Amino acid sequence: MHTSTTAPTAASPAERAPWKSTVRAYVALTKPRIIELLLVTTIPTMFLAQDGMPGLALLLHTLLGGALAAASANVFNCYLDRDIDAIMNRTKRRPLATGEISTGGALVFGTVLGVLSLVWLGVFVNAISAWLAFVAIALYVVFYTMVLKRRTSQNIVWGGAAGCMPVLIGWSAVTGTVGWGAVLLFGVVFFWTPPHYWPLSIKFRKDYADAGVPMLPVVASERRVTTEMIGYTLAMVACSLLLLPVTPLGWVYGVSAVVLGAWFTLECVNLLRRSRDGARKLGAMRVFHASITYLTLLSVAIVVDVLLPW
């Protein structure tokens, strides 16, 4: 009798640990990079509302609750957009578009995250922050994803209000109310959103056009898009400077706001110039990355200014 001596085929990493692949897929549904950017605005808001270092426990509870709320909204967004995600090159590898995660599993996951976020904030922070988190989820899932995204070129403008909610949540976590400082920070992020997102839409214009999503760069001229970006940027800078007379912020933040605002405005103006030379995609991504740098450094400036002893 012949006995086979062939060695068994080595299992692939996914076969050896399928649960790791599944966990990664569920994490991907939450869009971690977006969550990181949202939390960047929560931290300085809490420092400003406290006019100093907020309690560590309160800070961590607020960040965790806010992260869970954002994750929930992102999962529902992936569920609702799974058809267009499958069409667009930028998103066709998302777990729902590939079928790696079932629609039922995504719905349960998003719901659990949402409920957990509201309970967490309600128990460990306060009721106002929990309600604001609920509003944030509703704005992103219903107002932006279901109502605006596929119907109007102003989708990211008004739908971007959902991305501004972390500043209200952070402020209310410290004070139990929403003050003028929170309103102006809301304005900074609100007016920041179009010049942040439209450059990405410029680069992936064909993707959005193929998917039938009327982002402004799909339906309008490059000149109009870049001109509107400059207008929103100026409004953003104005809100950032108005923080000075209504909050305890001082010269460190003031100088930073002026310098960063001038720099980012110049980047948008340069994009308008590049668009005339046919180099708009390269210039667009430069502005996209610059927008993240702007918001991050402005947030750092707030924290540093608040913590300075003078």
Tell me how far apart the alpha carbons of residues 222 and 224 are, in angstroms, rounded to a whole number.
5
Tell me how far apart the alpha carbons of residues 148 and 207 are, in angstroms, rounded to a whole number.
18
Helix segments in the chain, DSSP class H: 13-16, 18-29, 32-50, 56-80, 82-85, 95-98, 103-124, 127-138, 155-159, 161-175, 180-203, 205-211, 216-219, 222-246, 251-276, 280-307
Q: Which of 296, 261, 254 is closest to 44 using CA atoms?
A: 296
Whether the CB-CB separation of 221 and 276 falls below 8 Å is answered with: no
pLDDT of residue 310: 66
Assigned token pair, 224: 């109009």
Which helix (H) or strand (E) segment holds residue 189: the answer is: helix 180-203
Chain center to CA of 116 = 20
Tell me how far apart the alpha carbons of residues 191 and 161 are, in angstroms, rounded to a whole number.
9
Scanning the structure block, which residue is given the tokens 């064909």? 206
The crossing angle, in degrees rounded to 10, of helices 103-124 and 127-138 is 150
The 8-class DSSP code of residue 150 comes to: T
**What structural domains does the chain harbor?**
22-174 (1.10.357.140), 179-310 (1.20.120.1780)
- In a structure prediction context, what are the per-residue pLDDT tens digits for the chain, which is 310 residues long? 444 444 445 444 445 458 788 899 999 999 998 888 888 899 999 999 999 999 999 999 999 999 999 999 999 999 999 999 999 998 999 999 999 999 999 999 999 999 999 999 999 999 999 999 999 999 999 999 999 999 999 999 998 899 999 999 999 999 999 999 999 999 999 999 999 999 999 999 999 999 999 999 999 988 899 999 999 999 999 999 999 999 999 999 999 999 999 999 999 999 998 776 655 555 899 999 999 999 999 999 999 999 987 6
Scanning the structure block, which residue is given the tokens 């980012």? 264
Q: Which of 27, 294, 45 is closest to 166 using CA atoms?
A: 45
Phi, psi values for residue 127, rounded to 5°: -65, -35
Which helix (H) or strand (E) segment holds residue 30: the answer is: none
Assigned token pair, 144: 């932006």
pLDDT of residue 1: 45
pLDDT of residue 298: 97
What is the pTM assigned to this prediction? 0.90
Assigned token pair, 24: 């990664």
Scanning the structure block, which residue is given the tokens 């927008």? 291
